[in-house]
Amino acid sequence: MMWARQRWKACCWQLGRCPLSMASIYDAVSRDAVRIVEKIENSSGRPLNFERPYIQDTTQEESMSCSVPPIERSAGKPAHDSSDSDASDDAPHCLEKNDGGGGGACKSDFLARLGPQRLYELAGDGFQMYLDARSERDQLTFHDFVCAAHHVMRDRGINQSAWIEAMEIMSEDEAMICVLVIDAKCSDPAFRIASPGGYMRAMVRASQAGKLNLVGSLMGLSERRRHRTHQ
């Protein structure tokens, strides 16, 4: 089913390049393709379109500390990405100090087990808003999350070039999770991310070096939300 996966990704890529009517057609076709794959997966008992690990296995368990300087920005204005934003002082120098655990390889079946509804609960308010506009919570697919990620990138001032750069290193779903994590942290007053675009590029570099722990990031979001719930 790799051809279906590749076709789906090609359709998603075209969404931002066509007129609104054509984009709607591509979107609908992509959603139908996802639902067909999900039905086949449910009947076969194993995922068909998640053949590659999200994060490659590595012998290094080296954790990375996060040093994002607490730089204030004007209220209501996104910290826009720029060609040199990831080289500036307000970009994260490194990422995720294990963020709540879950070291080791982040396998794609983790995301499949997590499911769209649980992933929705971990998303920030902006991400959830775009998901709500697309479908009911119990009808969401990972394609909806990818589309929502593109809207969130625009709102957060993350250039499309950062997504293109990410797609050269990681899978589409990995890139989507990176955007979800960034948006959730930007929505959390405990974090100060002055340049979401620089942060995104730093995550891509960490992935290229085999040091990006997306499972740990998602677990960290879960722990923080659970902590706030019990406060």
What tokens appear for 173 in the block?
A: 């779903």
Is 60 exceeded by the pLDDT of residue 159? yes
Is the domain of 94 the same as that of 198?
A: yes
- Looking at mean pLDDT, say which of 11-15, 140-144, 202-206 comes out highest: 202-206
Which pLDDT score is estimated for 29? 54
Is residue 76 assigned to a domain?
Answer: no
178, 215 in Cβ contact below 8 A? Answer: no
Residues 16 and 98 in one domain: no
Pair (188, 106) in one structural domain: yes
117 and 37 assigned to the same domain? no
Assess if residue 79 is contained within a domain: no
Q: Please check whether residue 112 lies inside any domain of the structure.
A: yes
Cα 104 to the center of its chain, rounded Å: 19
| pLDDT at residue 191, as a whole number | 84
211/113 same-domain check:
yes
Q: Give me the mean pLDDT over the 36-51 stretch.
A: 50
Same domain, 115 and 38: no
102 within 8 A of 222, measured Cβ to Cβ? no
Q: Is residue 67 part of a domain?
A: no
Kindly report the pTM of this predicted structure: 0.60
Shared domain for 160 and 220, answered yes or no, is yes
CA distances from 73 to 111, 170, 192 (A): 34, 30, 10
Per residue in 89-119, pLDDT tens? 344 444 444 443 333 334 467 778 889 999 9
Domain identity same for 102 and 159: yes
Q: Is residue 66 part of a domain?
A: no
Give the distance, in angstroms, between the CA of residue 160 and the centroid of all CA atoms in the same chain.
14
90 and 9 in a single domain? The answer is no
Same domain as 190, residue 110 = yes
Number of domains in the chain: 2
Residue 64 is assigned to a structural domain of this protein: no
Same domain for 100 and 203, yes or no, is yes
Any domain includes 63: no
State both tokens at 169: 């290193």
- Domain limits for position 129: 85-229
Q: Residue 160: inside a domain, yes or no?
A: yes
Judge if 33 and 128 occupy the same domain: no
